[in-house]
Amino acid sequence: MSEQTLAEIGEFGLITRIEELVARLAPGEQVLVGPGDDAAVLRVRNGHVVVSTDLMVEGRHFRRDWADAADVGHRAAAQNLSDLNAMGGRATWLTVGFAAPPALPAQWALDFTRGFAEECALVGAGLVGGDVSSSDQIVISVTVMGSCTVSPVLRSGAQPGEIVALAGRQGWAAGGLAVLGRGFRSPRKLVDAYRRPEPPYDAGRAAAEAGATAMIDVSDGLLADALHVARASGVAIDVRTEAFEVPEPLVAVGAATGADPMSFVLGGGDDHSLLATFPPDAALPEGWLEIGRVSQASADGPAVTVDGEPYDGPYGWTHF
C-alpha cells in the first residue's frame, strides 16, 4: 500500500481507504447519510447552518518538504475550524476537495486524511464527503459547516470606545515559517507551531457568550485582519505593542535574522488566533488578552494603527 501512487490505487480505491479512515477517526455527529452517496445528509438542530470554504495550494500555502502530510491535514482542518470559531460557533461537518498529481504516493493522501480527521475530532466534527481528482499540483479545498448557540459574531459590529482583544498565540507560526524559509528546522517550537497550529477552539464561543461585538479569524495577519474588522465596522483600531510579551523563541529568531520580532506578531496569520472587540465594561473571558482600542474613523476612513501611529511593516499577506 505505502508504495502505491494515486494512479495505481485509483480514484475509487483512494475514496474507499479515505472513508475507512474517516469512519474510524472522525465519524461526526448527526450524520444521517455519510460519505458514499451523491450527497451527505446532516441533521440540523438550531435552524441554521454556518458555512465557510478555504483553499490550500501546494507551493503557496504549504510545501511537502516543510511539513509532512499529517501536518498539512491538521493545518487544513484547523484553518477551517477556525473560521467557525470566529463566528462564535462550533464546526460539526467538513467536506474536502482533494486534487493531486497521479504520481503522488497514496500514503501521502491517507496521512493527510488522518491528520485532518484527528484535528476535526478535537472539536467533535466529522468529514462527511468530498471529491478527488488528478491535477498538476496539490490543491485542497475544505468546506466546513456548523452552528452557533448564540447570535453569530460578525466583523461589522465594532463600536468606538470598545476593547480590542486577542485569543491564542500570535507570531509563532510566522516565526516558524521564517525559519523554514531560511533552510533551518529550529527553534522547534516555532516550526511545530507553523506545522500544526493550535487555534483557541473554545475562545470563539466564549467571546460570543461574553458579548463580543465583532470577531475575526487571524489568517491574513493580525493587522490585516484588524483592518478587515475596521473597514466592516467603519471604525479605527489601535493596537498597542506593550500588550504583547514577545516569546523567547521569536526574540531568538529576530536576533538571528535581523527582523523585529514584533513584526511576526503583528503581521503573522498562520496561528489562527482570534481577534475580537468587546464593550468597554465587558469582562474578557479566560484566554482573551486586551491588545488595543476601537475609536472613531478619521476623515481618511477606517484604519489600523500601532501605538497610535501608522505601521510601516507588513500587515499580512495576499494570495495573488
Name the β-bridge partners of 236.
295, 303
Query: Applying CB under 8 A, does 39 fall inside the site for a second copy?
Result: yes
Q: Is 300 annotated as a binding residue?
A: no
Q: Is 38 annotated as a binding residue?
A: yes
- Among positions 60-79, residues that touch a second copy (CB under 8 A) are 60-61
- From 45-53, 68-76, 182-190, 245-253, span contacting a second copy (CB under 8 A): 45-53
Joined together, the cell numbers standing for residue 241 give: 505593542
Query: Applying CB under 8 A, does 29 fall inside the site for a second copy?
Result: no
Q: Is 155 annotated as a binding residue?
A: yes
Query: Applying CB under 8 A, does 301 fall inside the site for a second copy?
Result: no
Query: Is the CB of 136 or the CB of 290 nearer to a second copy?
Result: 136
Query: Applying CB under 8 A, does 238 fall inside the site for a second copy?
Result: no
Query: Applying CB under 8 A, does 113 fall inside the site for a second copy?
Result: no
The angle formed by the CA atoms of residues 61, 65 and 67, to the nearest 5 degrees, is 60
Please choose, from the candidates 291, 295, 276, the residue with its C-alpha nearest in 3D space to the C-alpha of residue 157: 276
Burial (CB count <10 Å: 0-12, 13-18, 19+), residue 242:
exposed
**Among positions 25, 144, 284, 306, the unique one binding a second copy when judged by CB under 8 A:** 144
Query: Applying CB under 8 A, does 217 fall inside the site for a second copy?
Result: yes
Query: Is the CB of 133 or the CB of 186 nearer to a second copy?
Result: 133
- Among positions 163-202, residues that touch a second copy (CB under 8 A) are none
Taking CA atoms, 34 is separated from 16, 51, 95, 126, 283, in Å, by 13, 18, 11, 10, 41
Contact between 297 and 224 (Cβ < 8 Å): no
Q: In what helix (H) or strand (E) does residue 177 lie, and over which residues does it extend? A: helix 172-181
| Cβ at position 36, least distance to a second copy in Å | 7
**Sign of the dihedral defined by the CA atoms of residues 100, 97, 113, 6, in that order:** negative
Q: Is 61 annotated as a binding residue?
A: yes
Joined together, the cell numbers standing for residue 86 give: 470566529
Q: Residues 6 or more apart from 258 whose CB is under 8 A from it?
A: none
What is the rounded CA–CA span in Å between residue 10 and residue 21? 17
What is the rounded CA–CA span in Å between residue 305 and residue 164? 12
Query: Applying CB under 8 A, does 128 fall inside the site for a second copy?
Result: yes
- From 18-26, 95-103, 251-259, 300-308, span contacting a second copy (CB under 8 A): 95-103
Query: Applying CB under 8 A, does 136 fall inside the site for a second copy?
Result: yes
What is the rounded CA–CA span in Å between residue 171 and residue 313? 14
Query: Is the CB of 100 or the CB of 191 nearer to a second copy?
Result: 100
Count, residues near a second copy per rule CB under 8 A: 72
Query: Applying CB under 8 A, does 277 fall inside the site for a second copy?
Result: no
Query: Applying CB under 8 A, does 275 fall inside the site for a second copy?
Result: no
Contact between 294 and 162 (Cβ < 8 Å): yes
| Cβ at position 56, least distance to a second copy in Å | 8
Q: Which residues are annotated as a binding site for Mg(2+)?
A: 38, 52-54, 83, 131, 217, 220
